[in-house]
Chains A and B, each alone.
Chain A
Amino acid sequence: ILNVEQSPQSLHVQEGDSTNFTCSFPSSNFYALHWYRWETAKSPEALFVMTLNGDEKKKGRISATLNTKEGYSYLYIKGSQPEDSATYLCALSLSNFGNEKLTFGTGTRLTIIP
């Protein structure tokens, strides 16, 4: 069973502060990692897909890095705003040998305090 761990489970951040959280996974046979944002009462929305060790992706104030050798990805949010409040999910696939399945972590629930 593939274990995808996200930490922390939840956090509260003051508006304007920057924050980051982690997705950890087994480093062997890594293939792709996805980050999704899931706002309350909405559908999960894709942020990034990352495949290469050392990948860095950026979308506005949100960025992500990937270290496949040590098995982790960080998601960073710079200058948090109330609209950043959401659950952030990472999802992983370890191989592409006919396996189109993603395994999701339990998410990090981020609350921005105005």
Chain B
Amino acid sequence: DGGITQSPKYLFRKEGQNVTLSCEQNLNHDAMYWYRQDPGQGLRLIYYSQIVNDFQKGDIAEGYSVSREKKESFPLTVTSAQKNPTAFYLCASSMTSGIKETQYFGPGTRLLVL
């Protein structure tokens, strides 16, 4: 089945640790996105990538890093510089990067800081 997978479903991070959230898609989509959801807030864009080996900061990129070495994969690293990393993280992809394009979402990863 075509789709987007995110792993793990739950992730625990100790203070000062970097952690990496996985996002893989087999939809052959060019564009991929990372969003963060906090209680009472809409999804907020962290980073997006329009094509392999290229990515741009979203609205809340501080404390995060990404890479896009393969079309299918867009991992997100939450660094120790991210002061409030506890949140639900959603990955999405779309055929192209146009904003009329439907975005397809993964199941999400919940990150908790110990």
Residue of B nearest to A95 (CB): B99
Q: Does A93 contact B (CB under 8 A)?
A: yes
A interface, size bucket? 20 to 34
B37, chain A: closest CB distance, angstroms? 9
Q: Is the CB of B98 within 8 A of A100?
A: yes
B1, chain A: closest CB distance, angstroms? 13
A89 to B35, CA, bound (A): 14
For B31, the chain A residues whose CB sits under 8 A away are 100
Interface size on B, residues (CB 8 A): 26
Interface residues of A in 19-43 (CB under 8 A from B): 31-32, 34, 42-43
A99 to B58, CA, bound (A): 10
Q: Does B107 contact A (CB under 8 A)?
A: yes
Q: Is the CB of B103 within 8 A of A51?
A: no
Q: Is the CB of B58 within 8 A of A101?
A: yes
Interface residues of B in 87-114 (CB under 8 A from A): 90, 97-108
Name A's B-contacting residues (CB within 8 A): 4, 31-32, 34, 42-46, 49, 51, 89, 91, 93, 96, 99-107
